[in-house]
Chain A
Amino acid sequence: MLRTIAYRLTGIPLIILGLLTITFILTRGIASDPIYGILSIRELMNEDYVALVREKYGLDEPLIVQYFNYLWNTVQGDLGTSFRTRQPILSDLLAKTPATLELIIFSLTIAGVLGVTLGCLAARFEGSVLDVTIRAVSLVGSSVPVFWLAIILLYLGSVVLDWFPGPGRISQRIAPLEDGTGFFLIDALVQGRWDAFQSALRQIMLPSIVLAWSILGTITRLVRASMLDAMESDFITLARAKGVGSWAITLRHALRASLLSTITILAHVFGYLLTGAVLVEAIFAWPGLGDYAIESARALDYPAILGVTLVSGVTFILVNLIADILYTVADPRIRQ
């Protein structure tokens, strides 16, 4: 088992090197001269000053040297400076990440529990009205643009029904939390701030329902398909021949077999959630990576966008790695 995991780990640096190469090509190879991003038009008029700045940023070196400088800087955590905020990108990103992760994990939990349950039910009662309904709803679910759903639900949930608060991560009316992990729900609990916890919980509900809905259909359909595959296997017939009851067959035999692919499915939709977060955070005034990405994109602050891309790429790789490891632990055929 350890060897399998070690093997997976060795692939990671290679992929990250690939990521960096792609981002480097995007910035230096295709984009216009980065100097235009660094200096204002007035400053660009002064040629001596331009040359000085070029030297300072290493932009006078041959591309290959720039490439290794870029790799070296990135590995050290230097992702450059944002044109927009004039802050080091890494510190910007670190400040924004907890908000996004909190949202994503919350959504993934909701969607995972619901999706696996619905997928199992649909497979268990294949062909019934329940199955058809679940499948239809899941198809509709993946056809709705998440950023539109966010607007509509925000209107319905906070204006029409008044069940949820408006945009924001925590109510402005309560005293702010002290600095902590950046995960408001956790910080509130640690600091014993029950009012803050309630407020943060109420605030996170609507955006995470939106995100959960956006992946629920995919999870349901994939779980249903893998359950049906499992239910067609010979070992299910054997279980029936043993006299095992049908719910026990669904749970102990079919679900057990398809849990493996469920792990992969959940890792796969994590990528959708990252994308979804980028699209909906702005609508919910959620100060996370997505919001940051959109603000940077609109300002054409591409060092910052590259930073977001790199961080989401690395996060996605790590999630897939965790899924791989879980898979290895769960499957005795690979575990050996």
Chain B
Amino acid sequence: MTMLDLKTDELDQPPSAVAPNRIWASLRSSPLALTAIAIIAVWTFIGLTIDLWAPYDPLAPAGDRLQPPNAQHWFGTDTLGRDIFTRTMYGVRYSLPLALIVMFFTVLIGSVIGMLAGYYGGWIDYILMRLTDITAAFPPLILAMCVVAVLGPGIVNSAIALVAVWWPITARLLRAEVLSVKERDHVMAARVNSASDRRIMLRHIQPLCWAPVLVNATVDIGIVIIAIAGLSFIGLGSTPPTPEWGQMIYEGAGRYFNWWIATGPGLAIVTLALAFNFLGDAFQKALDPRRGEG
């Protein structure tokens, strides 16, 4: 496309400069994005109202042990005879809010570090980026496992551990954006006009940097949901009898011939993670029309 002198001005501006109403318009016209939003909305609704309509008690036996799915127990029952459908519905109360909180703090910490490193450069950049390199040198879930093991198992500690290992991605993305936006003449203009460093970072650089961070964070919410479940699966997250998805899958792991024990919570994770993946993809498309789903 670079060969053609058709480049319209809209395509010339950085992705982050796309106006919010345009992003929304683009999301609305994408069936995938609408599906994603619907799935997330349904899960949110379930999480808020489950107490009102849950068919069974999530913690107490509701019938015979190890029933395969049937009319009374849509997802079957587990080794203690608890209703897996009820437990799966309750599970969203742990995974979704926890993933959102983890992502919020991850983006916050990562952005501050990435912005400072990219903007100031020099030794600040060197120190912050080496710290990032070291943290990112571990496979995230393994380091998180290590942190939880040390902090002590628990669902809050597993969230803290995930924040502690997840921030380098945001930091690197944001730093790369800052480095490129910093070279734009309007930043030079702000500098010539004696804008303070704070103002240049917040007003002149930051608004043009968040596009890749947003796309990545959206997709990562899905991955964090899987990671939270993973930590519980290992035995470091929630403790029995919490109806947490990873925990429930673990209960089914040793009994793979009773396939339904893990199936309900597994499908729950897949739907939510997929929804955030679709949403991230749609953001990508809205922010950079040449990329993303065609």
Contact = CB atoms under 8 A, between A and B. Distances in A.
Contacts of A279: 141, 230, 233-234
A139 B281 contact: yes
Contacts of B290: 232
Interface string B230-264: 10011110000000001001001100110100110
Interface string B135-164: 101111111011111110100000000000
Interface residues of A, number: 59
B293 A316 contact: no
Contacts of B278: 139
Interface in A139-185: 139-140, 142-145, 147-149, 151-152, 154-155, 159
B189 interface: no
B106 interface: no
Contacts of B171: none
B142 A278 contact: yes
Contacts of B230: 145, 147, 275, 279
A309 B257 contact: no
Interface in A186-207: none
Contacts of A147: 229-230, 233, 246, 249, 253
Given A152-B259, A306-B146, A140 B139 contact: no
Contact of A294 (B1, B138, B235, B262): B235
A60 B291 CA distance: 59
B122 interface: no
A interface majority secondary structure: helix
B137 A19 contact: yes
B25 interface: no
A302 B138 contact: no
B234 A294 contact: yes
Interface stretch (A26-34, A45-53, A113-121, A254-262): A26-34
Contacts, number: 163
Nearest to B229: A145
B137 A151 contact: no
A139 to B, nearest CB: 5
B99 interface: no
A274 B131 CA distance: 22
Interface string A1-38: 00000000001001100110011001100110000000
Given A140-B274, A145-B230, A234 B294 contact: no
Interface in B268-294: 269-270, 273-274, 277-278, 281, 290-291, 293-294
B2 interface: yes
Given A145-B229, A152-B266, A19 B138 contact: yes
Given A22-B134, A27-B150, A309-B145, A151 B139 contact: no
11 contacts: A15-B130, A15-B134, A18-B137, A140-B270, A145-B226, A145-B229, A145-B269, A159-B256, A274-B139, A297-B235, A316-B138
